Chains A and B, each alone.
Chain A
Amino acid sequence: MEKELELPILPTTVIGSYPRPKWLREAIRLHKNGKISDEELKEAFDDAVIAVLRDHQVAGVDIPTDGEMRRDEMVEYFAERLKGFKFYGPVRVWGTAYYRKPSVVSKIEYTTPLIVDEFKFTKNASYSPHIKITITGPYTIAEWSYNEYYKTKQDLVFDLAKIINIELKKLVEAGATFIQVDEPALPTHAEEVEWAVDAINEAVKGINVKVGVHICYGDYSRVLPYTDKLLVDQFALEFANRNFEDLVLLKRFNFDKELGFGVVDVHNRRVESPEEVASAIRKALEYVPPDKLFINPDCGLKLLPRNIAFQKLVNMVAGTKIVREELKRKGYISTSLKPLVSR
């Protein structure tokens, strides 16, 4: 087992999403209009996952995902598969961008596995024995939904946590070795972070494989005080978008967990050079020891054009390799997917 979980030092990975191929978007549109069947759409999704894995492989990513090809949106996808949610209609996020924000109208119930099939397919299709499976966290699902049913948001979040825990256990049974809980909403309300952390702990309870949490574009100083209390092994955070200025917060809050270091900006089409990536990693190494540093983009890549997303991964891996060589000379050869925290 030990050996199976071994990874090169500075393992490269992605946060989760990847741009959907144009033909997949076309297939989804045709399916919506009744022009292709459910089976045909499923085949298109499967093919898209294989294409994404191939992109990740060519780029040299150590721990790929399926690019979240099957998920339109990170809350919607789960709300559609759980009992208790209802969709009234689209809500605007800005300008001309909308999303379908679900409403909780009755007790949330788990009726069928959410992403176990998705995981199994990816595992079978993957070039790498290590894959990351992402799941939206209980706090973010609640924060990005309307609560019509539960007395408090807290009640809703803890019910969601229990359900996510059931799903995570099934994922581990199916062979998952690296689970990432996505909680971008976690820093939204400073006064709620404390109990939200308890809820995430509830969601990952008994999950003895590597568990990470992903948070992005928020005020990290609201979350980092809970570094120890939050029972995950890894924090995958966005840094490139803010010019790596937030790295100092790691020192301020005595951060000592693994860091998934956001090294390329997903909100900017300019492709960072390998040298830029390497120098950012060297900067991160001032705050985190080499065997606790994973390398990833800031966030999901899905909003970028596919060729740019791909090139960003290529350069991310190339930049990582530069620093890897430097570390090898200092005796750092490998790290591991072994969990560090007992849950």
Chain B
Amino acid sequence: MSIKTGLIGSYPRPVNLAKVFSRYNSKKIDKEKLNQEIRRYTEKFFSLVKEVNVEYFTDGLLRWDDLIDLTFSYLKSPTKDGLIRFYDNNFYYRRPVISSKLEKDDSQLLEAIKEDLELLKKLEIGGTLKAVVVGPITYATLSENKYYNDFQKLLEDYSKILNEVLSDLQSYVNAVEIHEPGFFDKNVKRDLIERANEYYEIIGKGLKIEKHLISYFDIQVDRLKEYFNLPVDVYGVDVIENRKKLGKVYPFFKDKNVYLGVLDTRNTKMESITTIKRFISSSNESGAKDIIIGNASLMDFIPEIVAVRKIKLLNKVVSKDGKRA
């Protein structure tokens, strides 16, 4: 058993970077200048990762407006529609509209990852960079389907594309986060959950890249069995949001690698180190193999200054514990 630290999903887009995006959107600066600024802020984020000694991390997704915006970097056929609430958050994403067969975009995500790797090399950061993609259930249910008569076919096509995307990525990164908050969304029908395994088999076929399944927000306990049966390497649980349900969750940890979302990214209140340690020891007692601790959900929901403070807490948990692997 080892305890590692991790960061998932997005880091709050700094206000000054948003100003750069606004200037780009109103055509006052060109794409190259925008990219230069994105690299500058990503580098800042990586410096924080280095300072806190985080072992598994993303690039903070600063390039994309939101998690769903990221999918446009590996899919080229969908278009962007109006703003839609992201689950029960006061945060909005642009809904993809699928009006033709899903097609892979070969370059955008890969280019971003290559840029990240250059920055990491420059900053001499060891750890593991994770690519981020959106899971099939979440994607299919958060987009508007105007093309596929058969919904299953949409999920299959999407899963096949993910397989190809990950296959391209695995020459560059060792791990990928598959964000699947839709798995526990009450509005998602049961039959989709039951078929999830099929999609994840397609996604993982022939791949050696480490797959971290990430979900967040309220858990539906009657879906835990299906969740922990998916063919992935690490299972993510939003511990913060499901405090009262953990008794039902822990039994599924046996012999699994787990990611514990212990930093509340929907509240500015600071977590207590004791509480975090209790989550770790309960997971341990439940027979979890490797444990990674980090933020519970996307960090867009809290101010940057609070996110930094919370991230720094991670290091305190593992160093005092003396169990850093």
User: What B residues does A95 contact at CB under 8 A?
Assistant: 18, 21, 65-66
Question: Among the listed B21, B92, B93, which residue makes an inter-chain contact with A96, where contact means beta carbons less than 8 Å apart?
Answer: B21
User: Is A92 on the interface with B (CB-CB < 8 A)?
Assistant: yes
Asked, given contacts A94-B66, A96-B22, A101-B303, whether A146 binds B269 with beta carbons under 8 Å apart, the answer is yes
Asked if B267 and A96 make an inter-chain contact with CB atoms under 8 angstroms apart, the answer reads no
Write the chain A residue with the least CB distance to B92: A94
- Of the listed stretches B53-61, B83-91, B117-125, name the one at the interface; the rest are far from the partner chain: B83-91
User: Is A144 on the interface with B (CB-CB < 8 A)?
Assistant: yes
Asked if A148 and B25 make an inter-chain contact with CB atoms under 8 angstroms apart, the answer reads no
Question: Among the listed A93, A143, A189, which residue makes an inter-chain contact with B92, where contact means beta carbons less than 8 Å apart?
Answer: A93
Measured between C-beta atoms, what is the minimum distance from A298 to chain B in Å? Answer: 15
Write the chain A residue with the least CB distance to B86: A94
Write the chain B residue with the least CB distance to A86: B268
User: What A residues does B204 contact at CB under 8 A?
Assistant: none
Asked, given contacts A92-B13, A93-B90, A94-B66, whether A148 binds B268 with beta carbons under 8 Å apart, the answer is yes
User: Is B72 on the interface with A (CB-CB < 8 A)?
Assistant: no
Asked, given contacts A94-B83, A146-B269, A147-B267, whether A88 binds B306 with beta carbons under 8 Å apart, the answer is yes
Complex interface residues of chain B between 222 and 268 (CB less than 8 A to chain A) = 266-268
Bound form: Cα–Cα A101–B90 in Å: 10
Bound form: Cα–Cα A94–B85 in Å: 9
Question: Among the listed A88, A92, A96, A146, which residue makes an inter-chain contact with B300, where contact means beta carbons less than 8 Å apart?
Answer: A92
Q: What mask results when residues 165 to 190 of chain A are scored 1 for a CB within 8 Å of chain B, else 0?
A: 00000000000000000000100110
Asked if A90 and B90 make an inter-chain contact with CB atoms under 8 angstroms apart, the answer reads no
Q: What mask results when residues 298 to 312 of chain B are scored 1 for a CB within 8 Å of chain A, else 0?
A: 001111111000000
Number of interchain pairs (Cβ within 8 Å):
61
Complex interface residues of chain A between 50 and 95 (CB less than 8 A to chain B) = 88-95
Bound form: Cα–Cα A92–B11 in Å: 11
Complex interface residues of chain A between 98 and 153 (CB less than 8 A to chain B) = 98, 101, 103, 143-144, 146-148
Asked if A146 and B267 make an inter-chain contact with CB atoms under 8 angstroms apart, the answer reads yes
Write the chain B residue with the least CB distance to A146: B268
User: What B residues does A189 contact at CB under 8 A?
Assistant: 88
Bound form: Cα–Cα A98–B90 in Å: 11
Complex interface residues of chain B between 62 and 115 (CB less than 8 A to chain A) = 65-66, 83, 88, 90-94
Bound form: Cα–Cα A298–B93 in Å: 22
With A94-B65, A96-B19, A146-B302 already in contact, 17 other A-B pairs whose C-beta atoms are closer than 8 Å: A88-B303, A88-B305, A89-B303, A89-B304, A90-B15, A91-B300, A91-B301, A91-B302, A92-B18, A93-B92, A94-B94, A96-B18, A103-B268, A146-B266, A146-B269, A147-B269, A148-B268
Asked if A96 and B66 make an inter-chain contact with CB atoms under 8 angstroms apart, the answer reads no
User: What B residues does A146 contact at CB under 8 A?
Assistant: 266-269, 302
Write the chain A residue with the least CB distance to B301: A91
User: Is B135 on the interface with A (CB-CB < 8 A)?
Assistant: no
Bound form: Cα–Cα A91–B300 in Å: 7
List 29 A-B pairs, Cβ < 8 Å: A89-B304, A90-B15, A90-B303, A91-B12, A91-B301, A91-B302, A91-B303, A92-B13, A92-B18, A92-B91, A93-B92, A94-B65, A94-B83, A94-B93, A95-B21, A95-B65, A96-B21, A96-B22, A96-B25, A98-B15, A101-B90, A103-B269, A144-B90, A146-B267, A146-B302, A148-B267, A148-B268, A148-B269, A188-B88
Bound form: Cα–Cα A96–B267 in Å: 21
Of the candidates B94, B303, B306, the one having the most CB atoms from chain A within 10 angstroms of its own CB is B303
Give 10 closest A-B pairs by Cβ, nearest first: A89-B303, A94-B92, A148-B269, A96-B18, A146-B268, A88-B303, A103-B268, A95-B65, A96-B22, A146-B267
Measured between C-beta atoms, what is the minimum distance from B94 to chain A in Å? Answer: 8
Q: What mask results when residues 329 to 343 of chain A are scored 1 for a CB within 8 Å of chain B, else 0?
A: 000000000000000
Measured between C-beta atoms, what is the minimum distance from B102 to chain A in Å? Answer: 24
Q: What mask results when residues 1 to 34 of chain B are scored 1 for a CB within 8 Å of chain A, else 0?
A: 0000000000011010011011001000000000
User: What A residues does B269 contact at CB under 8 A?
Assistant: 103, 146-148
Bound form: Cα–Cα A93–B12 in Å: 11
Bound form: Cα–Cα A146–B19 in Å: 25
User: What A residues does B90 contact at CB under 8 A?
Assistant: 93, 101, 143-144, 185
User: What A residues does B19 contact at CB under 8 A?
Assistant: 96
Asked if B88 and A98 make an inter-chain contact with CB atoms under 8 angstroms apart, the answer reads no
Asked, given contacts A90-B303, A188-B88, whether A98 binds B18 with beta carbons under 8 Å apart, the answer is yes
User: What A residues does B25 contact at CB under 8 A?
Assistant: 96
Asked if B18 and A89 make an inter-chain contact with CB atoms under 8 angstroms apart, the answer reads no
Asked if B306 and A92 make an inter-chain contact with CB atoms under 8 angstroms apart, the answer reads no
